[in-house]
Structures are given as structure tokens and as C-alpha cells.
Structure 1
Amino acid sequence: MKLLLIALLIIFTETQAHADWLSVCHNQPASVIQKKNNDRIAYYFSPDESVTLLQITKKPLEIQCKQIEVGISGGDILWAGFAPNVTPNMTNIALQGSTKDERFLVSEVILPDVANVATEENSIQKKTSGQVNHSKPLSRSAWFWSPDLWIDTPEKIFDVTSKFGINRIYISILTLHGEVSHATELHKFIQSAHFHGVQVWAVLGDPRAIMNEGVSAFLSATAAYTAFNNEAIPTGRLKGLQLDIEPYLIPGYLQNPEAWLSRYADVINNIHRTAPALQIDIVVPFWFDPDTPQVASMLGNVTDSINRITVMDYRTDPAQIMHFATPFLNWGMHNRKAIDIALETLPMVQEDRRHYRQADAGELLQLQVGGQSVLILLKDVYKHNESIMSYRYTYTRIIDGTDISFFKTKGAFKELMTPLEAELNLWPSFSGLAIHGLDQW
């Protein structure tokens, strides 16, 4: 009996020795994420640009952090992250990502969809007449991201625009010290595009534009585009500026979407004030539903600053494309804004979608630390206690991108464009299709 008690004591002691401390540290300076820290497993920005860290350490931290002792060690963790929308009543969770260096890099946390159910009214609300407006000219647009294309090989761009009937292009234009780089080449290219019947727009894209560090760069570039246009002849001017900012990619967006969207709107309005003569187009994903209060408020704040919206309606099923386009086309109709529907043709990175179901023990843990909901994915099954919710792995689905991009069905894509345009043209707000990836064909 004595030997048994000693053995149990040894096991208990070893278990405690491997029980690390999980901590959440708020209000850290932004510079903290630039420092090497092997204990840091996740972080996010607050709208004031302070940082919240999630760390796992061998000993409790002496600084002011909220922390709990957990029966796992840092070496047990495949991935961890903040999950503000995860609640204990959710019985299913899926993690999508890829494995690298014995870690699972999660690109998306997928929760049960209990609210986003399209109503019949929303599904059929469209157009004012039901007749296609054949007199309305439709556009086809495309992106050409590399400046080398328009600087060195503009003929390649015009080959694509001719082949696909493209009459508006978005190009990356570098600036330096408040001036457009390669201004002579740009002026010549825009004049050539005018000859080919193609509008040229500048495109700027970076989520950091809604942070102090990034917004100044965007405003400087916008001012440079305005100065360029002021120097150019009418047929050599940029037609507009597209903002592909994607604020939801900022770590911490989901913690406070309303505040981040407010900053996003401020950036758009400031850019418009900097370049009032330039048309402004904003790019949004299809799930940025304008019928939701937060997005509706943001769009209301920028309505006077924008001319059009390009919706990344990245789906290959025509029914889904139409379904996700509907709310934006309705919004555009009511607000007199042009709506472009964008489709993807680039190859997608293959990812695994791992599904987990709530159980007494599992590899995926959901717990509260300092008022924060945290998800931790472990290498092995963990027996949960009362303060930790466990989810057990059930199966994996391979996501190869074929429902998102036409990269494997380019022939079908070409055949789809014309009938899809006809269907979308039932809305007066529909302006045309935008095709992403043609610069890689």
C-alpha cells in the first residue's frame, strides 16, 4: 500500500510539473509582436492598436495578466487562438487550415450557421421591372497586380482585355515620396488603354490601411495619384481608385467588428476627401452582408464617398453566385450605386477542414481566460474538467477550392459569363463582372 501511494504521488507530481500556465495579457504595446517570444501562441489588436497576447508558460507570469493553470504543456499544442463567437452551447466546430512543421495553421474557424438563412422575400427581391435593360452598357473588369506588366509588357494586358472583352482594369501603381513611380510609362500606358477602349484604375490593398501605420501610406499614394492626374492630359488620366482593404483580416477584427468598421469607413472617407475627383470603388467579400446592422451602418457612412462596390462573390455554382449577389444588388439599387460581381479563376491552396463534436474528452478545447474565449487544438485527446469544454475529432473534408474558383473549369467559366451577366442584369444596379486571376492565365 505504501509503495502504491508513493507511485501515485510520483505520477501526480509529474503531471503537475507538465501543467503549464495559460495567460491573457491585455493592453500591450504594438511593438511586442515584433519581439521573439516562444511562449506567445496567439495575439490580436484592439481598435486602439494595443495588443492582447495569449501565452503558455512554465511558470505564472509576474506581470498583470489573467492566467490559469492547465493540465497541458506548450509542446502539446497544434494551434491556439481567440474565438469570441464560440459559445458553450455549440455542439460542432470545424477548423480549416493546413499542417506545417507539426503545427496546424488555422485559416478559418467555422461555427454552426444558425442565423444566416435566406428568406424567400430576400431571394426573389430584385429589379424594378423583370426585364433585362439591353440599353445599359455592362462592363467587364480584371486585375493586373504586377506593375511590371504595364511597365514592361503592356501588350500582354491588351491581349487579355481583347480576348475577354475587358473594358476596365485595376493595376498596382507604386509611389515614392508622394510621387507616382514610372510616371512617363504610366501616362503612355493609360493613353494606349484609352485607344483600346479600356479604363485604367489604380488599386490599393492592405488591411493595415485601417491602422495608424498604414493609413498614412494610403493617403500619400492617393495624393500622388491626384497629382499625376493633374499633370496628365484627359486621355492619360486614371479613371478611379479601387480600395481592396479587407479589414476583417486584422487579428482582432472579430473581437470588435463595429469599431474596426468605423475605422474602415473613416479611411474611405479620408481617401475620398484627398482625391474628390477620383471615382472610388470598394471591394468586399460576399459574406459582408449589407442587411446586417454593422455592415449597413458602415456602408451608410461611406455612401457619399464611393461610386461602386465590387463583391468578391467567389463561388462556382451559378445559383450560389446569384444568392450571394442579391443583397448587394438590392443595396446598390436603393442607394444608386454600381455593383460589380467578381469571380475567381486562380488556383486555391488545398486545405483540410477538420470537424469536431462536443464530447467528454477531445483534442479541441474551449475555455475562458480573463473573460476571453480561447480555442486550443491538441495533438492528443484531453479529458476535460468543469471549466473546459472538449470537442472530439470526427472527420476531415478536403477543401480543394473547386467550389470557390474556376481554375479547374475555365471552359465552363467562359460559357457561364454571358448567361450570368444576363441574369444579373435584371437589377438596375448591376454594372458588370470582375474577373480575378486573368493576369495569371
Structure 2
Amino acid sequence: MTLTQYPPTSRAGAPPAPGSDGPTLVEAMGRTYFPLAFVARLPFAMMVVGVLTLVVAGRDSLTLGGATSGMVGLGGAAIGPLVGAWADRAGQRRVLLATAAVHSVLLLALTAVVYSSASDALVLAIAFAIGATSPQVPPMSRSRLVGVIRSRLPAGRRPAVLSRTMSYESAVDEIVFVFGPFVVGLLAATLGPTAPMVAAAALTALAVGTFALHPSARTTTARTTPAASDPGVASGGQAPARELFRPRVLVLVAGFVGVGLFFGSVLTAMSAYTGDAGHAEQAGLLYGFMGIGSVVSALAVSAFPARFSLRARWLTFAVVLLVGAVVVAAAPSTGVLIAGLLLAGLGIGPSLVTVYSHGSERSPDGRGTTVMTMLGSAVILGQSIAAAATGALADTVGTSAALAVPVVAAGVVLASAAANWRLTGR
């Protein structure tokens, strides 16, 4: 697939002349791009928690609420990669506009159906459709950025800029995934349980629609082949779909399922922990400590020396994640539990950055958005499964059992990192 560049709007946006340092990434993308991409992520982060809040309030059933949020995750995991593949073929603009329109309508439809006499089956079906049509802003943003870095920046600067960019994108995801549930709670507490869904629908239509129309949507990414004479020029054609199922790609997906399992199990376990103390509303605050550690460590990745290889980084920080999870599970007090969450966050951030960097390297020709969407969908799938399973375990066995689930999730991440070590050359 040929890498299409959008027309520059200024001298700074023009392709770099031979021997010049070229534009910065901000100049190449445009100064409005990064704030816009941040806001456009919010509906995705609000979706699962917003659906759970709405259904529990409207149907007075925690079981149905958990099942409904799980269906959202299942829809995103099952259809999200297909949406990414569609974007690789048809372009992001068309796909984002279509999914944003349908997704906004479905969010409003669920809000109406939950408070009607419609069956639970219809609620679950709409929830699946909401997940299936969720606009894949995070992976599409990464795909755009990788494409611009490879096409518009001088070859000598690309590795460092790519590392910093993946660090930034992972940190933004962490901030949004912590801030999104907070926004849902604030809106639900002040305006009612339907407010988060209405707000998410409006944000999807406005912010995601604007993101779709941004000039960078005309840039499609493709992985450069080793035989290419210029590392900034992509090879023609699109790799067959079977290339997406190579072990070097699937091990990344498995690792992100583990990350999603960790996110979902920690949030649910914190709900059980604070609920035992009579302060269930404080679960998000405890969860935020893990987000703090993750954001800080994700931003620090760009300072790592080149000799600290990607495969070594993932293995190292997967161990840090596991140690943090063990501290959380065995914590004798809230202070120690918070320390474990901070430590686990320090392991999560670099793991996210590293896996996304691996994903950008290993994306088959013309399949960059698909791979990034597969990784994002894997997180949502793991999160949904863990939230439902950990909640059931907390209800039937107790909070101590729920606190042990993050250890298992961290073990999945570590096993994937070890497998990646064996699959990756020096």
C-alpha cells in the first residue's frame, strides 16, 4: 500500500529537504492533532463503565449490569480487528465517520431501552453492537503517527521519535482510562445515570467526527520491507491476512489480553476491598494510584538507552508487574496495598509502550491499523472477562480471592514476555 501524505499547509509541513533536520512531529501532524486525539479517546474510556452504571441503575441488577458491560467488551474484541482491517482498506476517514454515527445512535438507544419494558436479551444485543461499532481512536491514532514518522521525518530521527511517541500514546491511554470512569461517576452522581451515555454519544459524534475529518486521516501506514531502498517508502500491496496470525504477532495479543485481565481484575477487586470497608465509591481512587505509576513509567521509557532492548524491557517490567500484584494480594494494610498498586503501575506503563512498539515493527504491509486494533481489542476483551470473573469470585469466595486474580493476570503478561524473548532476535 502506498503511503499517502496529506498536503502541507505551511513550509514547516513540507517534506524535509535532503540533509535538513525536517519538521518536528507536532509540525508534521498539526498543532490541533494531539488535543483532538486526546478528547476523541474519552467516549471509548467511558463506554464500559457507563453501560454498567446505566444498567445497574435502570434494571436494578448487578448481574445484568456485569453481563451487559461484558457484552460491550466482547463486541469490541470480536469486531474491532475487522474495523481496523476495513480502515486499512478503505481509509480511516470513511470508517470513523460510519462507526461514530452508528455508535452514537446505539448509545442513545440503549439508554432508552434500559428504562423500557424491553427484554434483557435486547439490552445485551445492543450492548454487543455498541462494542462492535466503537470507534477505534487509539489504534488509529498510533497508525497515523507511525505513518507520518516513517514518511515525513528523516531516517536518523525515526527510532527516537517513534519511542517517544509510543510512550506518549500509552501514557495518554492510561490518563484517559483513569479519567473516563471518573467522568462517568461525576456525571452519574450529579445528573443521573443516563447522563454519561448521553455525554458519550455527543462526544462520539463531535470529537470522533472531527478526528475523522482531520487531514492526517488521509495518511495510511504500511510497514517497510527490508528490501526497500528508502526506509521511508512503503512497499506496494497489502500483506495477506494470514500474516496477522504469525507467532510474533499473536504473542503481543496474548500479552495485551493479560494486561486487560490485570486492569479488569484490579478495578473489580478494589471495588470489593473498599466495599468491605463501607466506602465502595473510593475504588476509583485506589485504582488511580496504579494509573499514576503507569503514566510516569510510560513517559520515562523514551529515556531508556538503546541497548536496553524491547524484548528485555518487556520481560523486566513484566516481573515488576508480577511483584506489584503479589504485594497487592498479600497487603496487610491499605498503605501497603497502595504501594503495591504504584509498583504494579510502574510495570504496566513500559509494558504497554514496548508491546505497541513491537506491534509497529511487526505489522505486515498495509496492516498497521489492523494490528493496533487487535492489541486494543485484546485489552478490552481481557478487561471484560476479568471484571465479570473477579466480581463473581468476590461474591462467592470473598475479597481475598478477588485480590489474587491480578497475580494470575500478571502471570499471563510475564509468560507472554518470556515467549516473546524466545521469538525475538537480539
> TM-score, normalized by length of structure 2?
0.23
* Larger-gyration structure (1/2): 1
More helix by share: 2
More strand by share: 1
The structure whose RCO (Cα within 8 Å, separation 6+) is larger is: 2
